[in-house]
Structure 1
């Protein structure tokens, strides 16, 4: 036993002190103008201190980068100026297109991360590529996984690039009002990561081991400002819009034209808080959701794409368990059900949203959003509000408190008593150790609704250990049968769920593999109201190999048990005989997956699943094909085929989902995107085509055409055309 304690102590000692020494550079204050042209020819750039000596992250994380990068920064009272020199092995760059907010991992680019509150939890992200295409985003939760990474956030800034032989330069001008920070601050934590497709190298300014995310906020250096930062000087932005549209709903025999006006306002409160106000918002320009084939018994969650909900979204959406017990899911707002159970839009009348830092350790989030009454569809007016607090403890962990209230207004006869209000109160502890070796979440939530009779708790424990060779986690959830969160995403109630996963990763030398790993992940679900009856389990065993050329292969075996409390048809065929209630099934399946080198002009991924499915069989083939026509176009196709074979009298089906997408970028300000989605499970062929002209920073003209057809008889279902103008005005 003493030997084990000694081994654990030595391991933690090694992981704590094996980190690279701190790196820093000084950001010089200037009083002269920088011309934005991507060319670093102003004399002041030669006086700026450089952040250099990048480390390789892939394929080897223990050596200096072969192709180096150099970052210089200057600032004045208004802007942060960034000059970047990126050295390359040639000029054969790979890019997706000229569209803003590009994906980074499959193209040449460099990204900058700014942790302005030095807390290791949240950061602003700005990136560019050799063509001067820009992207910006937010990182939350320490960057532990993709749930804390979004590039849906938008803010005003400028950037240009210039290509030379064997290197390119970029010049960025970011208004200080684009950041949130403490007045009088002298230091921000900083890191940068870069993808180089020609040398097949990823690199970072601070050395990061490959078992950590490249955008994680654990391994960061310091940027030291020559003089303290001042107060924000642009406290107010107004973003009005006007839209005109026409739609024809063939199912409802309804045709209508409309003109709509509204807008948003952004009001800075000090340097650290932001108040967002929306009035009569319109989301007609937002990209349509990607359709999915659903063979499960449960609802599928889709990501938020509306800009109003993005900024500081982690303050509201990170409570509870993201898969089973998320008490707040912003897509619930503005969506309702008609008397037939169909999901329809429920317009938002107005909303306010306050979020940001109160002081060094405390974050505050609050929103209040009112939705419109729709008497024709028996939908009442609803007030939706939430208060969230998050306080930093220890080095990077935090304690969060929240209160959610969904309140029905009015006294209409169609309002059911038990749905007049729903309230949820909860506390979360989020663990992130200083070196990211340990992370986890521990929470307790309680709901309140009319005639609540106990069993209305949701609680969970999640702990993860992550080292270079081992990743071990355990996750346990309890959701009472009367627990409700009407603004959340709760797959089902009355469960105790437990799962533990173990992954062992190997890093071979002189191999075609960069790394490969074995993983086992058993999950069990019990139902407390049925004397802890085991209702489900899945046991997954998998092997994954990542090649030196960035392609990837995976093989997986899954053994499942399912007890059906309610009848269910996995094919969702109209009029089909459903699998009966109170029946159980044992079934196993196999899965093979391959993803090619995504740096290539043509890249693809294929995944095949075959084996048992309930009391029958399943064969599924899923894939993606991507072709880049640089730098103007990206053509892609996503497809999913499922052959479900169940014995008579149950339904068998061939289910298709095919989604070609065409992205054309005529310039860095004019984009045309078209998405076609065919799903015979949903009986829908959908076309969404969007032309966007960004005529000024964050100011756009959209022309959006949407068309939907029934698949079985190929007749029109719904058609609309919208023209929308938005303009960002700083006051």
Structure 2
């Protein structure tokens, strides 16, 4: 009996539910200056006790983090007093939307619909640098973190001898919530670089991400939340420029251009948002990270245009993701190259193929409208319509893009979702091989258990096009079970030869992909190593009538060091089947090429490594 109790204690420790925190209403004007001298802060209690997440996950944090919440008619306020060993804090960048790792900082997460699936994140550091993000799919993987979302809120911090404080004001107009509600879910976590500790206001096992929404505490407001009036944001622009194409004097873009347009964001309800854009100008969007693509296939880069960001998972979250539970957190490039396929990829809107050169070029967006958000506690909806312009000089026809999606919550953290995508080419005669329409319909089931041990997905998509191709389908299934000592994940995707999603991301067709992974984790807690995992992984592609075309298989070693350095080392056997001749040495035909139809087996070692980023000099290596 005693043995049974001892075995159950760790499970109970992580499963227990904290009592609700009472958020008091205040009439005092709170000045956001980082100095917690208002009477309100002195009168209200601290929210919970912070527990270690790293280097251990069963101990209380060494230094206290005192977080408090209050609200008035317009804002929710957060204060934090972060005790520390001394005041030599690490701040790697003054850039907004910094990444939390290896910085001194504190983050606050609000799950405003209590669904443990979608949430808003706000964070700041000792210098008052701010970051915000949208979390979706339960934040069970770094993939489900959108750092490109920006909105209106304020924060200030102040440094003292043995602690630093921060004060945050978030307008209710920035958040989406059900009017009249009295309860949200909340969590907070902190990185303390001086003692290399990560801590959270609710205990989280190390095999789960620190931002996982399955581990939150309820907060109860003293009175129901109300709308604070009209929530409308307008962003107009005027731009002018001059260009001259000396090779093509008849280029209609020659000469001086004068452009006028703008964006609008309108809160239809407290949970539903309408985005509008007319003749948008995306010149101020952050440039993509430069990535060297050594594969034979396209990779997808994350969407950064604000018009497409809020509730983006309702549109671009369908399909299959590359998920490696043993990859170091810093190894995720903000979503770059992390999808196997998707029926809708918003970056396809605003780009088209130049019929004269065959290259992808920008295509002006005439207008766009996007309605997305929560209808109630269980239903979410997304509607999008956008139109691009004709470009006769480049042989590009304008097109109308329409997307409709709906998501229904089932069980505690799971959902059933459907999507329909339609692309209507307005003048197909303007270009080469342009079809009049392309459509995709899809149905998906996303499963996450309440404690995040089980995660899975099943999907089926069907495309419809003018030429009515056979095998125009894509389907897949994934399931992962993860506990402290081991993780197993199975995933497969089957894409038919005729699957054609012109507005999606489909880098290859006519394949069956399988991707099982099994790993065992150990926690030696030595002076050097905090945790290490060993296992084996396989990723294999095969085609009908051909057999296996690509395979990578082998053991791996993942290590987390006490210094916060991370490493993933894998030894792989690779197999590649060639569909065309390949001049591997780039000799321009001077040396023999590898011949079409040949298959080759070769071996390689792959290393992901991130050293201790708290140091002035640090190193990362990534294949």
Per the normalisation by structure 1, the TM-score is: 0.78
Summarize the Cα distance change of 1:524–1:227 in structure 2 as closer, same or farther, 3 Å threshold: same
Within 2, Cα distance between the matches of 1:554 and 1:176?
42
Instruction: Confirm or deny that 1:379 pairs with 2:396.
Output: yes
Within 2, Cα distance between the matches of 1:197 and 1:307?
32
Within 2, Cα distance between the matches of 1:55 and 1:13?
16
Q: Which residue of 2 aligns with 1:439?
A: 455
Q: Which residue of 2 aligns with 1:32?
A: 28
Work out whether residues 20 and 207 of structure 1, in 8 Å CA contact, stay in contact via their aligned partners in 2. no
Within 2, Cα distance between the matches of 1:320 and 1:12?
37
Q: Among 142, 145, 167, which residue is 2:141 paired with?
A: 145
Counterparts in 2 of 1:636-715, with a 5 A limit?
Answer: none
Q: Among 103, 108, 111, which residue is 1:107 paired with?
A: 103
Q: Which residue of 1 aligns with 2:318?
A: 319
Q: Which residue of 1 aligns with 2:372?
A: 355
Within 2, Cα distance between the matches of 1:17 and 1:66?
19
Counterparts in 2 of 1:203-222, with a 5 A limit?
Answer: 203-222=199-218
Q: Among 51, 62, 70, which residue is 2:66 paired with?
A: 70
Counterparts in 2 of 1:113-512, with a 5 A limit?
Answer: 113-246=109-242, 256-322=255-321, 323-339=339-355, 340-410=357-427, 412-414=429-431, 416=433, 419-512=435-528
Q: Which residue of 2 aligns with 1:535?
A: 549
Work out whether residues 583 and 589 of structure 2, in 8 Å CA contact, stay in contact via their aligned partners in 1. no
CA offsets 1:576-606 (integer angstroms, 9 cap, x no match): 8864322211111123443210111221123
Within 2, Cα distance between the matches of 1:598 and 1:102?
13
Shift of 1:346: 0.8
Work out whether residues 23 and 206 of structure 1, in 8 Å CA contact, stay in contact via their aligned partners in 2. no
SS of 1:602's equivalent in the other structure is: coil
Within 1, Cα distance between the matches of 2:319 and 2:9?
32
Summarize the Cα distance change of 1:187–1:572 in structure 2 as closer, same or farther, 3 Å threshold: farther
Q: Which moved more, 1:144-153 or 1:588-597?
A: 588-597
Instruction: Confirm or deny that 1:515 pairs with 2:531.
Output: yes
Summarize the Cα distance change of 1:486–1:161 in structure 2 as closer, same or farther, 3 Å threshold: same
Shift of 1:496: 1.2
Q: Which moved more, 1:232-241 or 1:132-141?
A: 232-241
Within 1, Cα distance between the matches of 2:9 and 2:316?
35
Q: Which residue of 1 aligns with 2:330?
A: none
Work out whether residues 557 and 568 of structure 2, in 8 Å CA contact, stay in contact via their aligned partners in 1. yes
Summarize the Cα distance change of 1:242–1:440 in structure 2 as closer, same or farther, 3 Å threshold: same
Q: Which residue of 2 aligns with 1:641?
A: none
Instruction: Confirm or deny that 1:597 pairs with 2:612.
Output: yes
Greater strand fraction, Structure 1 or Structure 2: 1
SS of 1:177's equivalent in the other structure is: coil
SS of 1:44's equivalent in the other structure is: helix
SS of 2:314's equivalent in the other structure is: helix
Within 2, Cα distance between the matches of 1:551 and 1:225?
40
Within 1, Cα distance between the matches of 2:258 and 2:595?
50
Gaps of 5+ in 2: 322-338
Shift of 1:325: 2.3
SS of 1:490's equivalent in the other structure is: coil
CA offsets 1:544-594 (integer angstroms, 9 cap, x no match): 221100112332211111112234456778788864322211111123443
Within 2, Cα distance between the matches of 1:412 and 1:247?
29
Q: Which residue of 2 aligns with 1:544?
A: 558
Q: Among 554, 577, 599, which residue is 2:568 paired with?
A: 554
SS of 1:51's equivalent in the other structure is: coil
Q: Which residue of 1 aligns with 2:327?
A: none
Within 1, Cα distance between the matches of 2:560 and 2:406?
40
Work out whether residues 237 and 265 of structure 1, in 8 Å CA contact, stay in contact via their aligned partners in 2. yes
Instruction: Confirm or deny that 1:584 pairs with 2:580.
Output: no
Work out whether residues 232 and 271 of structure 1, in 8 Å CA contact, stay in contact via their aligned partners in 2. no
Summarize the Cα distance change of 1:571–1:141 in structure 2 as closer, same or farther, 3 Å threshold: farther
State the Cα RMSD in Å. Answer: 2.3
Within 1, Cα distance between the matches of 2:618 and 2:53?
22
Summarize the Cα distance change of 1:428–1:11 in structure 2 as closer, same or farther, 3 Å threshold: farther
Within 2, Cα distance between the matches of 1:91 and 1:128?
16
SS of 1:446's equivalent in the other structure is: strand
Within 2, Cα distance between the matches of 1:426 and 1:578?
42
Within 1, Cα distance between the matches of 2:535 and 2:408?
35
CA offsets 1:232-289 (integer angstroms, 9 cap, x no match): 4232211112223455668768865433221111111111000000011111112222
Within 2, Cα distance between the matches of 1:282 and 1:573?
43
Within 2, Cα distance between the matches of 1:555 and 1:473?
19
Q: Which residue of 1 aligns with 2:329?
A: none
Summarize the Cα distance change of 1:147–1:548 in structure 2 as closer, same or farther, 3 Å threshold: same
Shift of 1:467: 0.6
SS of 1:178's equivalent in the other structure is: coil
Gaps of 5+ in 1: 1-6, 608-621, 623-731
CA offsets 1:469-518 (integer angstroms, 9 cap, x no match): 11111111111100111111112111111121001111113341000111
Within 2, Cα distance between the matches of 1:333 and 1:12?
52
